[in-house]
Structure 1
Amino acid sequence: MLVAIHFCLVCQAQLKVQSLLTEDLHNPISVDATTPRFSWQITADKRNVMQTAYEIKVGSSGSNASVKDVLWDSGKIPSDESVYIPYKGSELKSGKRYFWQIKVWDNTGKASGWSEVAYWQMGLLSPTDWQAKWITPGFEESIEQPSPLFRKEFHLTKKIRSAIAYITAHGLYEARINGQRVGDAYLTPGWTSYNKRLQYQAYDVTGLLQEGNNAVGAVLGSGWYRGHVGYDPTPNLYGKDIALLFQMKITYTDGSTETVVSDDSWKSSTGGIRNSEIYYGETIDARKEQAGWSTASFDDKGWSGVKIGDFDKSVLIATQNEPVKQHEVFKPVRIFKTPKGEQVIDFGQNMVGWVKFKVIGKAGDTIRLSHAEVLDKPGDFYTANLRSARSQDMYVLNGKGEETFEPHFTWHGFRYVKVEGYPGELKPEDFTAITLYSDMKVMGTFTCSNPMINQLQHNIQWGQKGNFLDVPTDCPQRDERLGWTGDAQVFSRTASYNMNVHNFFAKWLKDVAADQYSSGSVPHVIPDVIKRKGSEPGGSTGWADVSTIVPWNMYLAYGDKRILQDQYSSMKKWVDYMQSKSKHNLWNTGDHFGDWLFYSVNDDNDGESAITSKYLIAQCFYAYSTTLLINAAQVLGKTDDITYYTELLAKIKKAYLKEYVTPNGLISSDTQTAYVLALQFDMLPEDLRQQAAERLAKNIKGYGNHLTTGFLGTPYICHVLSRFGYTDVAYKLLLQDTYPSWLYPVKMGATTIWERWDGIRPDGSFEAVSMNSFNHYSYGAIGDWMYRVVAGIDTKADGPGYKQIVIKPNPGGGFTYVSADYETNYGKVSSHWKIDGDNFLLDVEVPANTTATVYIPTKDSNTLMEGGKPVSGAGDIKVVGPEGGYVVVTVGSGVYHFSDAR
């Protein structure tokens, strides 16, 4: 059989440095890390390029080509590190902009030129840096809570060099300067544990200002702060007020500065947004709009003043994660009438966002848009699964020609939109669906020869897009949309392959720590909005373990020690909580969700429901979180903790064996999840593991090659099967297309991941309306196995962040090709394999400043060729030897073409 590995890498003219990032962001203008970190990528025109040294310069000014007024020159530092390198210069000042550039040396002694100059700007580091005052509406708010408008006019007499605006709110805000929207972020300031951490955003608004008269304005919505939010929707969770904080620093060309702030000189009123709620939708009455309200020429004599609010500024933090922005747009794929006679638009994709439309009609005409994910069995509009979420937008026309409707402070999960009250024919060109999600960079792609699997990957990606909306929500459509911890932890590794979620999770994990109870228990949802006085709704195994699992997964994906440093105390508190609830090292107390939504039947057939003991699961996750805490302690050098928790881990596993495992290795809950967790978390001694894997494979076969796992067992089942030699069984599970399986929803027409394996039953009926989301990403965790095992792209734990790459494809499932690309902090990694008759081809790309261990599916290294020459004679390729049906080689960066000419 002919085996080939072929690399395709765009040639570079020389050693270069590019993609300069500060705190993982490109030229950020509000950094509150007092020791910012720098990252960069290297490109070169040859193989095996490693960085051996670097030099960083930081200055207080600079051009595109060079840093000036140097504050810190690192000198030549011998190191191959090129991500998260800390600044080590003099103290940085609030609001000050700094410039930096980098040069590197490679392993042949060659130096790059100096890179182009990047910059960052410090945020407002102290509450005393805020001259602005919190302002609230000066009028008495009505029960409908129309969105307040705030405005202020000011006069500028000099030529402007730059202007930065810092804005936040109690509620949600959109700001305007001289009638132009400030920035392209939505649902700002985002969602955090507001009473402990409230983000502000910084905007470069230089281009919006002008010499002479200017005006600034902002409109606010209730949002998460005081809107109806929570599992049992409740208003005013963080406060009853709605408030604005605005500060803009203007620098003139002569070096002088001026500051415009929110204070008692501002005015307030209301406009067209009469009500806006996340769950219920937004109502706009265009007759009440105040045209030009944010321009300097507007007459605000009829407006009220404002009130000054005495709100805490010590909780203010700079935004470190990517904001929510608009992304893909969809036009209707069909417009039709349902059997009930309702006018419905199908946009072809279950998505998250809103609908924008154009209309001409009479003043007072009212249009209502209702949103739904699916149609029912007869083909009618279906919203029962939204529970109390009305998910309706309303627009009242002003009758002044063509009008455009677009919401501001709500969003919907939908594919279908029911339109009522529209004056005239519904035309595709007049309606556009706009998606909203956090502006995370796409990092990975996965395609293969099986169209159903490609659709599954599509669904996984769209489940992530729709639910990564500033926090990792469970679902985007019903009266929930909360940061459920269990969903986030099971999907976090898959999420890191699809998109860059480093900053997204770093931000959210700080809220995990902030809302963690003093006992160490972790709430079910973050931010914690379901806690009631005297209660601690948390501590569920597999959910609260988010505090250990996600930090470790982010460390593996990005190699960022600071995430472990920031979260270590939280990790430790959670493990200590479990220990405090255990007796004789056995944790068998508390309320747990268990293997949520596992396969269950509603009849008396003995053994068909795959019920796994919740306490057995708890003991497994107790061990796993302890293991991850030990791992983090090793990375951070916490030797005392390593010793203590290693001894504890041995006791936890011993208690598990005593309580749940017979001497012959039968686990008391004889289910797929029980064996999966035991094997994934190494709960069994070595001599019992293979027989446990055999029991797992037999169980799967007994269910007709179907999985029976729920939220906690599903992410690991295929990994366990592959680890113990049952990759063929894992492929059978992946390719199964009858319930329960990953492909059953695909076969039923899904365009996102469902909450339940059978959200729509084969006969077209629905699961219980109380809990039946059609955009719920948890089961999409299979994507991790597709990237790491099917395509074979992984990182070594002792070379995290893909500094030391593993490429180990596992052909199977009848696939004739698989192509996966992944953009790491160092550059792109690729693994493309193809079966062509008797030939196996593998294309791999390895970025500079990394190494890769490549596993080639062949048994004989003697016939393995590279570039037409024997590998054994290649100086830049090391043959490690055969291993389990592979020939293992180690390579550096570059382009390689291997072939086995047997």
Structure 2
Amino acid sequence: MVAAPVTGLTVEYQPSPLAVATPRPRLSWIPGRAQAAYEIEVRTGDVVVAHTGQVPSRESHLVEVPGLVLGSDSDYEWRVRVWDEDGAVSGWASSSFGTALLNPDDWTARWVLPKARGTAVERWTLLDWIQGRRPERDVSERLRPVQLLRQRFTPEAPVARARLFITARGVYTAEINGATVGDQVLAPGFDSYASRLSVQCYDVTDLLEDGENVLGVALADGWWAGRIGLTGSSAQFGASTGATWQLHVETEDGRRRRIASDGDVVSAEGPWTHADLFIGERFDMRLHDPAWSTPAFDDTAWNPVEVETADPAVLVPFAGEPVRRVAELPALSVIADPDDGWIIDFGQVIAGRVRLTLHAPCEGDVITLEHTETLDADGRWFVNIEGINKDQLDTYVAAGRPTEVWEPSFTFHGFRYVRVRGLQHPPEPGDFVAVVLSSDLRQTGSLHLSDQRLDRLHRNVVWSQRTNFLSVPMDCPQRERAGWTGDIQVFAPSATNNALVAPFLTRWLENLRADQDADGRVPILSPRSAYDDELASTGSGFGSIVACAGWSDAIALVPWVLYERYGDRRVLADTLDAALRWIEYQRTAAAELPERLRDVSLTPERQQRQALLYNAGEHFGDWLTPSTLEGRPLHEAIGIAPQLTAELVAPMFQAWTLTITARSADALGDTGLAESLRDRAAQVRAAFAAEYVDAEGRLPVALQGPYVLALAFDMVPARKRPLLVQHLVDLIAERGDRLDTGFLSVPHLLDVLWDSGHAELARRLLWQDECPSWLYEVDRGATTIWESWDAIAPDGSVRAVSFNHYAFGCVDDVLYRRIAGIRATAPGFRSVVIEPDLAGQLDHADAEVWTPYGPIRVAWTLTGDDAAIHADVPHGVDAVLVVGGHSTSLAPGAHDLRVTMPTPEPVVK
């Protein structure tokens, strides 16, 4: 018998990757029917390097092959076949992959550093930012030109295979013989450079020629030396840029040769008179010679480079998806700016840059492009991002050719609108294209809802995710662009629905582990520079925070999300030790009393309770709680929620991290560790309840957020839960059925209400359109998720805040799970509950979620009391449909069902 064919072959989540970054790659496939056994064979050339034989197993996702030993820079083919439950065997399904440089001694190249002045070292503090201080010198005096590097080489025989391994201190583009290498942008990306610097691999076989060749590299400051972060300080990792590469060439006669960066490289300044990730770049087309990376170019006037020995331990293979141009948006309109120039509207807030086309410009014309996310209430130009070195200004100097096309190379901006100045003639919309940049993640989920506003809310979340998942999970694509741990901690579940984020977040977690302090503290942002540490050591208040509750807990919570949604045990194993070190730091820090108790005489019993609770020190608390911000200047209001909530929030996250880490230990088979962690979590919960929950179930702070977290994290005895639920309901009513939850509690608000019998109240909050609410933003034209609920006031006035922060988009997970009705109940969607919300305000929903076994799709339409439900269940997934309290098991395959909703029982008052 022949079984259904096998499809969807991947290695470490990727189809046919060029350079797998691990010597132990995991293989995945999708069986055509329920799998009972599999067989895998891996070979390089004619040599079989691993063969499993028939293995009885249902597993088809992230399967490790015993005995598989991979070599560096090698090509492999693999194939798999499966047996179904009836004993039928499929045909072989085949794929391929290559490997990166897997061993430190594979790297022999040296760093080459152009002989150019270093980046101006600018140091700014949070106080400088708050006080509005700005650099006194012009950009042209503080920034420096992009450097070009050239290396000549000769393969000596026809080339059969060539791989370029390259990275930089800064960001780079590479060319060979005048042709661009690859389609990545802003490589090597953002890393914790002191500990790890990613090396990219490119197949350049088709770019090499017989005889002399030239490798050219353009090198800009990037994250390494440029102005980054909230303060806009420069040279946080180093003041001088450099690059290192190895070109591995295999000729047709079987010889292998390694061409490495060394002292034969020469350098010169390029046509970019400056380029900075935040400030922008200036390109002078008059200085550009497109032949600069070809053998015919005369480089006799170029300068020799300095060389430096590379530390192979810091150089790591890049894993996952690089940053690419993932979409292009046409200009929707061009209007004249009364203050000079033209305002281009692309209709969507993005991260990226503009490709400009000029028709018959004059030589020396200077064209400037300013970027912003919003206009003011009157439709006039408005700069919504203020701060040091947040210029977002690109400049182009024309060469005077009939047609000139330019797109920046070494910068990106957060914008919807662009103001163009310096044009000789009125532009046409077709002269401008917005190029969207993002880590090129596979978009795996879809969601369509009959309520247009809710549907727009989902699309806003997707856009915020796409434009902020750029090398690292950023908070925003304009002001900070930093890997804040709190942001991704609250958003990770939503992220998994919309895109295949496992490799992306796994790579970021490697940076986070590298940034963890020796004492166990997990930083509030990663990658983290030495200057971040310096600021914290000399700062006070928020400026002194290195680690804090809800942010640092990402080290345990984000891996658990990846395990829940992808069944990935390796990410749990890789982060377990870091999570335990963070837990131990919390235990040690619990010895410190909150400031309000330091001069209070405590009973021995209370001293014992307090010694269990991580509740002292500086924390952000339930950051951005709406009611604490109202009617006050931001610099005064921003600290109120932390002051009120930090002491409660910190031990709640302490208990939750203990619980999640216990589950991780269980998943990894360490039951003893899991039991120990659960015992400690129970002690923390008991101490918290005794210390902070009174007999009537009240917490010391009358804000929604602490009640939400206490209920979500099981911080109170079961007998008191109804009391806390009622207090939460009352607090919501006092706010006019509007949310008043901050950064850490808003992800849990609707679930807490749903699970405590208040689904209708949860729906009212979801559909609320008064500020603060999700639909308030939608009604005011939002195309992404705002940082502040009131970024645009009811009167239309606009605030200078970010219009693209994904964190509050965490509600998107509720739309998938609660509204559309797809909820995983076992890791990797091995089992799911399909429970659409047929009692809400929608009459139709259509959702699809990726699983390791194929997509799950649910579409439903409600007509009166009758619901038509369609469900696609892949093989390998156990599904249960729940409607009106009744459960029905769904076998793999397509299902079309009609159900009649039960009549609600009358409410007895």
Fold agreement, TM-score > 0.5: yes
Moved more, 527-536 or 76-85: 527-536
Moved more, 635-644 or 406-415: 635-644
Q: Offset at 1:377?
A: 2.2
C-alpha separation in 2, matches of 1:730 and 1:338 = 44
C-alpha separation in 1, matches of 2:11 and 2:774 = 39
Residue type at the aligned position of 1:516: Q
Q: Offset at 1:610?
A: 7.8
Counterpart in the other structure of 2:688? 656
> In the superposition, relative to structure 1, how do residues 294 and 610 fare at CA in structure 2: closer, same or farther (>3 Å)?
closer
> In the superposition, relative to structure 1, how do residues 338 and 813 fare at CA in structure 2: closer, same or farther (>3 Å)?
farther
> In the superposition, relative to structure 1, how do residues 610 and 541 fare at CA in structure 2: closer, same or farther (>3 Å)?
closer
Counterpart in the other structure of 2:274? 275
The alignment status of 1:806 with 2:833, answered yes or no, reads yes
Secondary structure of the 2:434 match is: strand
Q: Offset at 1:339?
A: 4.4
The alignment status of 1:780 with 2:809, answered yes or no, reads yes
C-alpha separation in 1, matches of 2:624 and 2:536 = 29
Aligned with 2:35 (options 38, 51, 55): 51
The alignment status of 1:665 with 2:714, answered yes or no, reads no
User: TM-score with structure 2 length normalisation?
Assistant: 0.90
Q: Offset at 1:784?
A: 0.6
C-alpha separation in 2, matches of 1:533 and 1:755 = 24
C-alpha separation in 2, matches of 1:590 and 1:891 = 51
Aligned with 1:638 (options 641, 666, 670): 670
Moved more, 669-678 or 156-165: 156-165
Residue type at the aligned position of 1:97: D
C-alpha separation in 2, matches of 1:70 and 1:98 = 10
C-alpha separation in 1, matches of 2:896 and 2:769 = 37
1:358-405 deviations in whole A, cap 9, x for unaligned?
A: 113222111110000011123221115232300000011122332121
Counterpart in the other structure of 2:562? 554
Q: Offset at 1:668?
A: 2.0
The alignment status of 1:834 with 2:833, answered yes or no, reads no
> Any residues of structure 2 matched to 1:679-718 within 5 Å, and which?
679-718=711-750
Whether the 8 Å CA contact 1:172–1:222 is kept in 2: the answer is yes
Residue type at the aligned position of 1:28: P
The alignment status of 1:113 with 2:142, answered yes or no, reads no
Counterpart in the other structure of 1:38? 27
Whether the 8 Å CA contact 2:114–2:304 is kept in 1: the answer is yes
Whether the 8 Å CA contact 2:832–2:880 is kept in 1: the answer is yes
Secondary structure of the 2:702 match is: coil
Aligned with 1:135 (options 92, 103, 112): 112
Whether the 8 Å CA contact 2:118–2:240 is kept in 1: the answer is no
C-alpha separation in 2, matches of 1:456 and 1:824 = 24
Structure number with higher relative contact order (C-alpha < 8 Å, ≥ 6 residues apart): 1
> In the superposition, relative to structure 1, how do residues 141 and 695 fare at CA in structure 2: closer, same or farther (>3 Å)?
closer
> Any residues of structure 2 matched to 1:189-588 within 5 Å, and which?
189-359=188-358, 360-388=360-388, 389-478=390-479, 480-529=480-529, 530-532=532-534, 535=537, 537-583=545-591, 584-588=611-615
1:696-716 deviations in whole A, cap 9, x for unaligned?
A: 223222211110111111111
> Any residues of structure 2 matched to 1:887-898 within 5 Å, and which?
887-898=886-897
Secondary structure of the 1:715 match is: helix
Counterpart in the other structure of 1:862? none
Whether the 8 Å CA contact 1:472–1:482 is kept in 2: the answer is yes
Counterpart in the other structure of 2:637? none
1:652-709 deviations in whole A, cap 9, x for unaligned?
A: 0111111111122122222211221111111111222233223222322221111011
Residue type at the aligned position of 1:555: Y
Q: Offset at 1:839?
A: 1.1
Secondary structure of the 2:626 match is: coil
C-alpha separation in 1, matches of 2:221 and 2:30 = 42
Whether the 8 Å CA contact 1:356–1:405 is kept in 2: the answer is yes
Secondary structure of the 1:275 match is: strand
Moved more, 168-177 or 284-293: 284-293
Residue type at the aligned position of 1:477: Q
Identity rate, percent: 36
User: TM-score with structure 1 length normalisation?
Assistant: 0.91
Aligned with 1:791 (options 815, 820, 825): 820
Secondary structure of the 1:698 match is: helix
Residue type at the aligned position of 1:428: P
After TM superposition, what 4+ stretches of structure 1 lie above 4 angstroms from structure 2? Answer: 139-143, 601-604, 609-612
C-alpha separation in 2, matches of 1:623 and 1:845 = 38
C-alpha separation in 1, matches of 2:156 and 2:645 = 73
> Any residues of structure 2 matched to 1:9-88 within 5 Å, and which?
15-43=4-32, 49-61=33-45, 68-88=46-66
Secondary structure of the 2:7 match is: strand
> In the superposition, relative to structure 1, how do residues 642 and 833 fare at CA in structure 2: closer, same or farther (>3 Å)?
same
C-alpha separation in 2, matches of 1:848 and 1:153 = 54
Residue type at the aligned position of 2:434: A
Counterpart in the other structure of 1:866? none
C-alpha separation in 2, matches of 1:523 and 1:750 = 31
Residue type at the aligned position of 1:625: T
Counterpart in the other structure of 2:73? 95
Aligned with 1:845 (options 834, 851, 872): 872
Secondary structure of the 2:154 match is: strand
Whether the 8 Å CA contact 1:666–1:692 is kept in 2: the answer is yes
C-alpha separation in 2, matches of 1:674 and 1:92 = 51
C-alpha separation in 2, matches of 1:889 and 1:610 = 45
Q: Which structure is higher in helix share?
A: 2
> In the superposition, relative to structure 1, how do residues 610 and 317 fare at CA in structure 2: closer, same or farther (>3 Å)?
closer
Whether the 8 Å CA contact 1:386–1:477 is kept in 2: the answer is no
> Any residues of structure 2 matched to 1:759-778 within 5 Å, and which?
759-767=791-799, 769=800, 772-778=801-807
Secondary structure of the 1:780 match is: helix
Aligned with 2:881 (options 848, 854, 861): 854
1:476-528 deviations in whole A, cap 9, x for unaligned?
A: 112x1111111110001100101110001000011111101112111111011
C-alpha separation in 1, matches of 2:870 and 2:198 = 44
Residue type at the aligned position of 1:785: V
C-alpha separation in 2, matches of 1:158 and 1:310 = 30
Count the aligned residue pairs: 841
Q: Offset at 1:534?
A: 7.2
Q: Offset at 1:141?
A: 6.0
Secondary structure of the 1:330 match is: strand
Counterpart in the other structure of 2:621? 594
1:165-199 deviations in whole A, cap 9, x for unaligned?
A: 11101100100011111111111001110110110
Whether the 8 Å CA contact 2:224–2:238 is kept in 1: the answer is yes
C-alpha separation in 1, matches of 2:549 and 2:558 = 14
1:93-150 deviations in whole A, cap 9, x for unaligned?
A: 11122211000011111111111x2122221122321232211114556863211111
C-alpha separation in 2, matches of 1:739 and 1:730 = 16
Whether the 8 Å CA contact 1:438–1:470 is kept in 2: the answer is yes
Q: Offset at 1:38?
A: 0.5
Q: Offset at 1:595?
A: 1.1
Q: Offset at 1:411?
A: 0.3
> In the superposition, relative to structure 1, how do residues 534 and 375 fare at CA in structure 2: closer, same or farther (>3 Å)?
closer
> In the superposition, relative to structure 1, how do residues 624 and 141 fare at CA in structure 2: closer, same or farther (>3 Å)?
closer
Query: What 5-or-longer segments of structure 1 have no aligned partner?
Result: 1-12, 44-48, 62-67, 858-884
1:428-472 deviations in whole A, cap 9, x for unaligned?
A: 111111000000001111111100001101110011111110111
Moved more, 557-566 or 30-39: 30-39
Whether the 8 Å CA contact 2:374–2:417 is kept in 1: the answer is yes
Residue type at the aligned position of 1:786: L
The alignment status of 1:122 with 2:99, answered yes or no, reads yes
Secondary structure of the 2:887 match is: strand
Whether the 8 Å CA contact 2:3–2:88 is kept in 1: the answer is no
Whether the 8 Å CA contact 1:356–1:404 is kept in 2: the answer is yes
Q: CA RMSD in A?
A: 1.9
Moved more, 538-547 or 73-82: 538-547
